Amino acid sequence: MTADRFDAVVVGGGLHGLSAALHLARVGRSVAVVERRWTGRHASGATAAGVRTLGRDIAEIPISLEAMEMWHRIEAIVGDDCGFHAHGQMRIAEREEHMPALRQREAQIRALGYGHEEIIGANELRRLVPALSPHCVGALIARHDGAADPHRTVLAFRRACEADGVVIKEDCGVEAINRQGADWLVVCGGLRLRSPVVVNAAGAWGAQLAALFGDEIALGVRASMMMVTERLAPLLAPVVSVVGRALSFKQSDQGTLVIGGGLQGSADIEHEGSTVNFVELAKGARAASDLFPAVKGVRIARCWTGIEAQTRDHLPVIGASPQAPGLFHAFGFSGHGFQLVPVVGAILADLVTQGATRRDIAAFAPQRLMQERAAA
Amino acid sequence: MSDTHTDLLIVGAGPAGMVAAVTARRHGLTVRVVDDQPAPGGQIWRAIETVAATPRLGRLGEAYRAGLDRTAAFRACGGIYEAQSQLWQIEPGFRAFVTRDGRARSFTASQVILATGAQERPVPFPGWTLPGVLTVGAAQILLKTADSIPEKPAWIAGCGPLPLLYMTQLLAAGGKIAGFLDTTPPGRLGSALRHLPQAVARLGDLAKGLSWSWALRRAGFPIIRHVTELRAEGKDKLQRLRYRTSAGSEGEVAAELLLVHEGIVPNIHPALALGCAVTWNASQQCPVPVLDGWGETTLAGVFVAGDSAGIAGAEAAEPRGRLAALRVAVKLGKLDDHAAETSAGAERGLLARALALRPFLDALYAPRAQVFAPADETLVCRCEEVTAGELRARAQQGRPGANQLKAFTRAGMGPCQGRQCAATLMQIIAATQKRPIEEVEGYRVRPPLKPVTLGELASLDMQEPAA
């Protein structure tokens, strides 16, 4: 059987894989995306879809700000607004003793020359979120942040990819990858694809894929839990998180409350399954009803967990493989990769086509986790 | 036994759940039964204990009266009975979460029997969400529990024994029937009669069914046969019905109340949530759990008994419940294999007898094809208001499965979590993609199984020590 040849094969049909494929296609490359299940099956379909610069690791701030600029013109990029609304994200202090840490953060990023995070007091907080329990004293806010609709976003990126000629192969899990001259031969789902470039956007399975090329990368897994309620009348516009509690709280376009915050269920990488832990999730329900007493009687429609890779330093792995020519990694977003989607695709297109990017991605180098693996 | 652990957890206090509890207790197991109703009996014997003291008992018939002995034996068996408890999650291992009186609690158990019964087959047709359109099952529950008779003459539309039984009960209670739109396709009796030889043992039941039909014919309301298409219309509420028959005749009648029913299907939501394998039952046109001869699912320690194992009625539910309990007793070392096999032989004989009429009934009352192929304008997912046309259009793009269609359209994401739309969606996928229905995977079921409130879930955090 002969193999179809592409300029690049992207492994993983999540949002990062689709974004990489889209950017590559737009600089004229022929691209195939191979996905073991279907686009958005795992983390991209299970995300709360927060579009957040607030509280980012210092190393991520530059690309996160660039991504935010892209989100504000996302319709021009993918042909749909992805349900993105910039009503702000805020980290709330319930008590006065929580404020110093927020003030310190604001001072730190201002000293670095950034101004996207800002302290607000109790009055402004109440003006922005009238439904909030009056005991809260202040917050750190990023006013241009917001949230999107994850399913709409997956669909938009997918359609944009297809419009630009990207071939998307679903039900197509990678079975083998071999060197064939200057190319890689990717065998998946009965197909054989040849390409000089492979982009590893396999999410929680990123380290397994990397190992096929000889890259041994230390990678953990997380299974953040989410709950969504029945629809209710408009209650709040911004996305709210709280100091000292695992809570992220927002209202979707449909009127449902979307509650997460990183509480962990359990993940089974091998069987691609994850399980909700309700004793743990009850803490999130408690936090939500403490912060918004009006929601106690609201019914939960469904809860879920998604499987996502987690690195030791909670920073993603973005960069060329140090050993395998033509292999580029983009995974390990550790539960906060959604906002970075537009920019990471652009970075990969740079890396693939120019061998470098103008953005500072040194902190995301795969080598940092490979050394750890070798030392262990 | 600790406060929160039992050998066996039984979900559902209908015919299967009650006898499973009695059997397990007889073999020395500790048992907890959770049920969302205020009293035991399930749907078939709903409210039997309170109805027993009223004249309603006579009207509801002999099969209903038979429930009295069962609930009495269940009450006396020594199991823990948690009434009015909504089970909303079972985690592997097993930990079950229930809500009662606004508070959430959890229990653990070594083995689980799901005896969660049946639900009416959802039948999407234009106008099915209008006020004034209900199911026959819902109306019958009101009749059993509250002696509630509809004020307006009721139009009944559908197929199967339940509409006949309900109409008989409704007339006996003094209710009025505007007419019956019988959706049984022509020629069904002929194909069903092929199964009659194996049903001869059940001629009594057949006679009962025929007597209902005769009684209804004598009552004098219009009976329109072989209805294929149905449409409910009205501004804000039901005002009229339109129908078409297989012969092509069309009709329009004024209506304020329409009760529909196209058979019942197993309630497999809890089994799906646990990850138990299911298979397609072609004669009943629904998924059923994959079970061994004792009712154990593909997940060790989880059993399914009663109608949730496949529609077979109360008489089959009881041997199924006892078989599951016997096997649980063996697995927990309370009964040896030989003794269990001996008891099981008798139960399997009872089960075979109870099932003898099933092929006949399944053939006679198989849902008409239109039930699975609603018109494009019809809402399939009523929670998220997704139409059949939208699902068909999406199902053509890239051969998506049920879970992708859910992500694309939001069908199945609302409070009912696909209970109302999953079956129709699977049929639409199969038809649009020209795949056998057996190959179409259903929705992944996400907890909670019942809509628990944020405050109820939060109550769990106040009760349990931090992990």
What digits encode the pLDDT tens for the residues B327-361? 999 999 999 999 999 999 999 999 999 999 899 88
Contact B454/A at CB under 8 A: yes
CA distance A139 to chain B (A): 24
Contacts of A156 in chain B (CB under 8 A): none
The CA angle B441-B446-B449, to the nearest 5 degrees, is: 115
All residues at 6 or more sequence positions from A128 whose CB lies less than 8 Å from its CB, including other chains? A88, A90, A120, A141, A237, A238
**B466: pLDDT confidence band, cut at 50, 70 and 90?**
very low
- Asked whether the beta carbons of residue B447 and residue A276 sit closer than 8 angstroms, the reply is yes
Contacts of B447 in chain A (CB under 8 A): 276, 278, 302-303
Quote the CA–CA distance of A155 and A159 in Å, as a whole number: 6
Give the rounded distance of the alpha carbon of B160 from its chain centre. Answer: 14
Question: Closest-CA residue in chain B for A169?
Answer: B398
Per residue in A72-107, pLDDT (tens digit) is 999 999 999 999 999 999 999 999 999 999 999 999
CA distance B298 to chain A (A): 16
The CA angle B228-B233-B235, to the nearest 5 degrees, is: 170
**B148: pLDDT confidence band, cut at 50, 70 and 90?**
confident
Quote the CA–CA distance of A13 and A166 in Å, as a whole number: 12
Look at residue A278 and tell me whether its pLDDT is greater than 50.
yes
- Asked whether the beta carbons of residue A304 and residue B462 sit closer than 8 angstroms, the reply is no
- Provide the token pair at B376: 């494009």
- Asked whether the beta carbons of residue B415 and residue A299 sit closer than 8 angstroms, the reply is yes
Q: Is B315 left (phi over 0), alpha (psi -120 to 50) or beta?
A: alpha
Q: Give which of B416, B461, B462, B463 to mutate to test A binding, by max A Cβ within 10 Å.
A: B461
In this structure, of A50-54, A70-74, A370-374, B204-208, the range with the lowest mean pLDDT score is: A370-374
DSSP B16-78: HHHHHHHHHHHTT--EEEE-SSSSSSTTTTTTHHHHTTSTHHHHH-HHHHTHHHHHHHHHHS-
Look at residue B465 and tell me whether its pLDDT is greater than 50.
no
The four Cα atoms A51, A56, A60, A66 give a dihedral, to 10 degrees, of 40
Report pLDDT for A298.
96
Contacts of B454 in chain A (CB under 8 A): 229, 259, 285, 288-289, 295-300
- Asked whether the beta carbons of residue A300 and residue B457 sit closer than 8 angstroms, the reply is yes
**A375: pLDDT confidence band, cut at 50, 70 and 90?**
low
**Whole-prediction pTM value?**
0.90
In this structure, of A353-367, B189-203, B237-251, B364-378, the range with the lowest mean pLDDT score is: B189-203
Contacts of B400 in chain A (CB under 8 A): 38
User: What pairs with residue B265 in β-bridges?
Assistant: B119
User: How many residues does this entry show for chain A?
Assistant: 376
Look at residue A266 and tell me whether its pLDDT is greater than 60.
yes
The CA angle B364-B368-B373, to the nearest 5 degrees, is: 160
Question: Closest-CA residue in chain A for B448?
Answer: A302
- Asked whether the beta carbons of residue A296 and residue B458 sit closer than 8 angstroms, the reply is yes
Cα distance between the two ends of chain B: 23
- Asked whether the beta carbons of residue B448 and residue A151 sit closer than 8 angstroms, the reply is no
Contacts of B452 in chain A (CB under 8 A): 299-300
- Asked whether the beta carbons of residue B415 and residue A230 sit closer than 8 angstroms, the reply is yes
From the list A374, A316, A370, A314, the residue with the least C-alpha distance to A347 is A316
Contact B102/A at CB under 8 A: no
Quote the percentage of chain A above a pLDDT of 90. 96
**B3: pLDDT confidence band, cut at 50, 70 and 90?**
confident
Look at residue A369 and tell me whether its pLDDT is greater than 50.
yes
The four Cα atoms B350, B351, B356, B360 give a dihedral, to 10 degrees, of 150
Q: Give which of A149, A171, A302 to mutate to test B binding, by max B Cβ within 10 Å.
A: A302
Which one of B414, B446, B467 has the shortest CB-CB distance to A280?
B467
Alpha-carbon distances, residue A268 vs A28, B137, B381, B441 (angstroms): 38, 41, 31, 20
DSSP 3-state assignment of A169?
strand
Which one of B89, B451, B467 has the shortest CB-CB distance to A301?
B451
Q: What is the mean predicted confidence (pLDDT) over A273-296?
A: 95
- Provide the token pair at A314: 């909670």
- Asked whether the beta carbons of residue A278 and residue B91 sit closer than 8 angstroms, the reply is yes
Which one of A155, A282, A299 has the shortest CB-CB distance to B461?
A282
- Asked whether the beta carbons of residue A285 and residue B455 sit closer than 8 angstroms, the reply is yes
Contacts of B407 in chain A (CB under 8 A): 40, 45, 151, 154
All residues at 6 or more sequence positions from B210 whose CB lies less than 8 Å from its CB, including other chains? none
Question: Closest-CA residue in chain A for B273?
Answer: A275
Report pLDDT for B2.
53
**A372: pLDDT confidence band, cut at 50, 70 and 90?**
low
DSSP A260-298: ESS-B-EEETTTTEEE--HHHHHHHHHHHHHH-GGGTTP
Report pLDDT for A373.
56
- Asked whether the beta carbons of residue A288 and residue B458 sit closer than 8 angstroms, the reply is yes
Which residue type does A373 have? Answer: R
Contact B414/A at CB under 8 A: yes
Report pLDDT for B1.
42
Contacts of B460 in chain A (CB under 8 A): 278-279, 282, 285
Per residue in A177-199, pLDDT (tens digit) is 999 999 999 999 889 999 999 99
Cβ neighbours, 10 Å, residue B389: 15
The four Cα atoms A165, A339, A343, A176 give a dihedral, to 10 degrees, of -60
Which one of B400, B408, B467 has the shortest CB-CB distance to A151?
B408
Contacts of A279 in chain B (CB under 8 A): 106, 460-461, 464, 467
Contact B18, B45 (CB under 8 A): no
Which one of B398, B454, B467 has the shortest CB-CB distance to A170?
B398
Which one of B446, B447, B454 has the shortest CB-CB distance to A298?
B454
Report pLDDT for B200.
66
Per residue in B358-408, pLDDT (tens digit) is 998 899 889 998 999 999 999 999 999 999 999 999 999 878 899 999 988
Report pLDDT for B215.
78
Q: What is the mean predicted confidence (pLDDT) over A204-226?
A: 96
Report pLDDT for B187.
85
User: What pairs with residue B254 in β-bridges?
Assistant: B240
Q: What is the mean predicted confidence (pLDDT) over A320-344?
A: 97
DSSP-derived letter for residue B373 is: S
Contact B247/A at CB under 8 A: no
User: What pairs with residue B387 in β-bridges?
Assistant: B379
ipTM exceeding cut-off 0.90 for this assembly: yes
All residues at 6 or more sequence positions from B235 whose CB lies less than 8 Å from its CB, including other chains? none
- Asked whether the beta carbons of residue B91 and residue A275 sit closer than 8 angstroms, the reply is yes
Q: Is B81 left (phi over 0), alpha (psi -120 to 50) or beta?
A: beta
Quote the CA–CA distance of A37 and A14 in Å, as a whole number: 10
Alpha helices per DSSP H over B107-235: 136-146, 161-172, 188-193, 203-219
DSSP 3-state assignment of B341?
helix
**A17: pLDDT confidence band, cut at 50, 70 and 90?**
very high
**B166: pLDDT confidence band, cut at 50, 70 and 90?**
very high
- Asked whether the beta carbons of residue A229 and residue B454 sit closer than 8 angstroms, the reply is yes
Look at residue B467 and tell me whether its pLDDT is greater than 50.
no
Look at residue A162 and tell me whether its pLDDT is greater than 90.
yes
- Asked whether the beta carbons of residue A303 and residue B417 sit closer than 8 angstroms, the reply is no
Which one of A41, A276, A296 has the shortest CB-CB distance to B453?
A296
The arrangement of strands across the sheet holding A225-231 comes to A118-121, A138-142, A89-93, A239-242, A248-251, A256-260, A225-231, A300-305
- Asked whether the beta carbons of residue A303 and residue B447 sit closer than 8 angstroms, the reply is yes
The arrangement of strands across the sheet holding B227-233 comes to B227-233, B240-245, B250-254
DSSP 3-state assignment of B296?
strand
Question: Closest-CA residue in chain A for B107?
Answer: A279
Look at residue A10 and tell me whether its pLDDT is greater than 90.
yes
**A321: pLDDT confidence band, cut at 50, 70 and 90?**
very high
Q: Give which of A299, A304, A305, A307 to mutate to test B binding, by max B Cβ within 10 Å.
A: A299
Contacts of A172 in chain B (CB under 8 A): none
Report pLDDT for B66.
84
DSSP 3-state assignment of A320?
strand
Contacts of A295 in chain B (CB under 8 A): 454-455
Question: Closest-CA residue in chain A for B92?
Answer: A275
Contact B222/A at CB under 8 A: no
Per residue in B68-96, pLDDT (tens digit) is 999 999 999 999 999 999 999 998 889 99
DSSP-derived letter for residue A243 is: T
From the list A309, A149, A316, A288, the residue with the least C-alpha distance to A221 is A309
DSSP A105-121: HHHHHHHTT--S-EEEE
